Structure 1
Amino acid sequence: MSGQYHQIVRDITGKLREFHQEIPDTAQAFTAMAKATHGDGALSKKQKELMAMAIAIAARCEGCLGFHAQACVKLGVTRAEFLEMIQVAVYMGGGPSMMTSAEALMAYEEYGGEKVSE
């Protein structure tokens, strides 16, 4: 089922496609950097994605939440891992990051991440 974060990701993806046409050097450089950064290395893809989500929360980047939540779910991030990452993000970002963390958890759940057992 599509929701708020699915729509945000679709909208941003559309604009990023425009960037590839209108500012191709910048868009291609960013894409190359993202690909180089997200592979397994000393840190796993999963660890890197959790770091990216923590930074998105601390920076309060709403547009980033959907992309990174989707990636976290695809990489098998558990709810416990996601919540522990939120703790670090809130520690680094304070009260505003606590509010953004709630949005991040909504995005994680929207993409199929574990929900609280009822």
Structure 2
Amino acid sequence: MKIHQLLIQLLILIIYWLIEKLWSKIRSSNRPGRKRVHYPAAWTILLLLLIWWKVGTYYFAYPAAILSLFGLILACLQRYQTGEFLYSRFWIAYWRLACLMTVVFFVFANLLPPLPTA
């Protein structure tokens, strides 16, 4: 069953990647200066939903808590370094690193032990 679920999830990721590539081609044909379209926020949300589907609500709390803590740490660092609080450069860094972290969580979700049933 886990292999079936993993294959379905990989198929979903491939389909989303193809849609993103197609959208990039459409946008670059309309605007010649724009070459690439990539949405790290959409990738992160999609991967988090797939993690939730794979591991359920118990284990899902860990990546959600780590991403929340990561966002708070980045916001505090941003405030300390530049004196500004949550501007566009912060969000770019947050979504890129959050996407990377969710890929790691997604890959290692198969290694988690099953939950005990009551």
TM-score by length of 2: 0.31
TM-score by length of 1: 0.31
